Structure formats: C-alpha cells, structure tokens
Amino acid sequence: MKKITTIVAALLLLTSCNKFLDTELKSDFSPETFFSSAENAELAVNGIYNSLYGTKYWIYGDVASDDAVKGGNEGDQVDISAIDGFTAASDNGHILQIWQKMYETVSQCNNVIFYVGQMDIANKDRYISEAKFVRAYTYFYLVNIFGSVPYKDKPQETAEAIYVGLSTPSQIYTHIEQDLNDAIATLPPTYQAKDQGRATRGAALAMLAKVQLFQNKNNECISSISMLENLGQYNLINDYANLFKSGAEDCSEAIFALRFINTTEAYLGNEYVVYMAPFVQGGYYFNAPTQSYVDCFTEQTDSGAFDPRLDASIGRGGQPWFNGLTFDASWSSTGYLVKKYNEENPTGLPIARMTVPVHLLRYADVLLMKAEALDAVGQTDSALSTLNKVRARAHLLPANKTELREKIRLERRRELGFESHRFFDIMRYGRAYAESALQGTGFIWTEPRFYYPIPQLEIDANSAI
C-alpha cells in the first residue's frame, strides 16, 4: 500500500493543504465521466484503501475492552469516555463519526464495483475484487459494532439505494462471505513492487476465516486457513518487536496492513502514534493500557525472563522508551501507554510523520484462530500444536491441554493487544466471559450481545430504519 498511498496522498493534498486552495477548478466529474479511463479506475480503487485510514477502530477494539481506558486529559474527548463506560447514546459524536466513515468506505467500494464493472479495461476483475474485499472488511466491523445495519451495495444515486432498512447480522455475514469468496477467486497471491499493499488472496482468505470463526463455523474456518497456508507465503517472524517498526508491512507475517509514507506532510503519517504517545512527545496519551492487561503476562520465558511481548506492546515505569527516554508512569493515568505504533525518531520529525504500519491481519492472528477452531471441533492435539507455535516465538514453554480454550483466549489477548481485536473477542466469548472481563465499567449484557446504538442522525435521515 506504500505506492498506493503516494498516489492517494497527492489527491488528498488537493483538498487538505492550504497552498492548493487558490488553484482554479478545471472541471468536475460525474461518476459516468470519471470512470472513463483505466487511469481513473485505478485512482478510484486506490481511494478505497485511503478510506480505511482514520477510522479509529481502536476506540471500539481496545478502549471498550478490558485492555485499555480512554486515557488522555480527563475532560478531553468525553464521547470516547461514554464508549469506554458503555453509556454512549445515539447522539455520541464518535459513534456518528465511525458510522459515517465506514459507510463512506462502503460507498466508494460500491462505485468501483458498479462502474468499473461496466468498463473494458485491464485489471477490471481484480479492481472489483479489491473493492469487494474492502467492502467486506468494513461491513465486518459495522456488524460487530452496531449489529443490524443497512446493507448498501449500490451507488447512492436513487432513493432505493439511499434509504435502506436494517439487515440482521446473519444476513450481513452472508453478504460478507460472498464478497470474500469472489475476491479469493480473483485476487492474486502477490503483486509487483509498485502494487505492494493491495488486498491479496491471502488477505481475503484470512478475513473469511475470521468471519467464519465469529459465526462458529469452525470447520469452514479451518478450511479457509488451510487454503491460506497452502499459498506458502506467511510465517511468524523471529522477533515480535520488529512487527512494529517501519517496513514491517512487508514482512512474512503481514497479511494486510495500513501503510504510511515518509513525508514532510504531517497528516500523512500514522495518526495512531499521535493519539497514543505521551505528552512529552507531543501525543495525546489516549488508549491507556490497564493493570488488567499487564497482569495477564504472568508467564516467564524459557530463560526466566519477562514475556517480551509486554514491553514491545506498552511502556511502563522504568523501562526504556524511545530516543533515549525512560518511561515515566506519570505520563499516563494508568501508568502505561501503547508502544506499538511508536519508534525511535533520530531525525526529530514530528510524531505525526512516523510510518510504523497498522496490522489489520497478520499470521499470528490466523494461527490463533486456527487453534481456537481446531479445539472447538475436538482436534485438541492439532490445536495445542498450533497454539505453541505462537508461544514459541515469545520464548514461552509449551502449553498443555488443560483448559486449552482459556489458554488460547489468553494468548490472543497477549499476542494481539492494542490491534483492535479484544472487545470483539470478548463479545463472541459470551455473556459470562464478557461480564467478568468488563465488570466495573458500566457494561450490561443485552441479548444476543452488546451493540452500540445506531447514530440518531442516521435514524432521522433514513426513513427505511
């Protein structure tokens, strides 16, 4: 996605940078006139990747979970506090923001699928499948944050396409699976250097496995992961910490990641570090890790050391931070901050220009999904062997079969911390697990599980809801 981002970033500058405000508009485009050349079709596809940036899944995946609290200044971003405390109402600003951002992504995907589908150009089928992958990815988070949502799959040009009623989670998942199966049939396993970062067959298979696991389709999940493994492309890298350094988007463990370009334009870097870095670095110190997260690292390595994933994931008092600093617990209301999206910065550039990738799908996640699905269907030996591959990278001793399901769940928490997975895992583990994990937060289980409210603005605007 590095090359893709360069193209899309140039388009963003036209609307975001003051020095372009005096440029005279030469023309405007309707969809029919824009989708008139192969070059414009590719730009539209590139745009759907750009739409994934800034969606702030971490507010729901991390802050809403037992891994983190809002952090930051106490009175800052009170709408996030409401999400954190499960008191968010339908007029919550961040709920509206993520709803609008995700449906903007869906709309861009729908335009590509419909209009590129009418063109006679090279890469046509691949472009459509890239859009279907991103649409499926986006609907996965829509259904897991909100539950029943409108399923929109056409350009927003008619009342019928705009005013769409609610589909159930089961119905949404059916559409997601169809998109991903279409993408698997068409997407290539790899790309040339100039197209690195686009959705691949492996990304579609990994996403399909996740969708199947979330529906308890365990045998189907195992099958999808077997197809991914048969591609022979993915492996765990040796050093966990290296996953969270610039360039890690191209390592053998990365399946699909947000990439950022090294640039003098601050707003084109990884915004995660701005939200999560300490004030001394110019950050807002949100998404503050909890003591509960720290306490889940109880095992020592085979050499008697700490699990290295803890200090690769978070900053804690007395431990090395970046640029020669030692982490000070006073930098955070909990005493901890997320470390994964930060890195050494010898040039002194503002942190908003940093380029650590955001892993959306990586192979360790796939292995833990596989272990969980294998255990669910009674293949405990294979499940244990798969789990121990992830543990071995962290230099932990092999686990045994005792309470294997709980061990797999714990390993997901440690391995994938602050990668926007935890809250969604808690929800699918069921009521007893959720009430235990989220006790003291204001969380109340509501059958079939907790969902955040649909924004009031959407309810008011969409007469079909």
- Helix ranges (H only) for 85-168 are 93-111, 124-146, 159-162
274 token code pair: 């701005």
Domain boundaries, the chain: 2-461
Q: What is the pLDDT of residue 420?
A: 98
Task: Based on DSSP, count helices (H) and strands (E) in the chain, helices before strands.
Answer: 20, 8
Q: Which of 241, 209, 31, 169 is nearest to 448 (CA)?
A: 169
Q: Look at residue 351 in the predicted model and tell me its pLDDT.
A: 85
Q: Read off the pLDDT of each residue in 209-231 and give the average, rounded to a whole number.
A: 98
Closest CA to 409 of 442, 445, 383: 383
16: confidence class by pLDDT, cuts 50, 70, 90: very low
pLDDT at 22: 36
In this predicted model, what pLDDT tens digit does every residue of 293-306 receive, in sequence order? 999 999 999 999 99
Indicate the pTM of the whole model: 0.93
CA of 313: how far to CAs of 23, 288, 316, 318, 393, in Å? 44, 12, 10, 15, 15
14 in Cβ contact with 23 (< 8 Å): yes
Residues 370-386 have pLDDT tens digits of 999 999 999 999 999 99
pLDDT confidence of residue 11: 37
Top CATH class of 2-461 equals mainly alpha
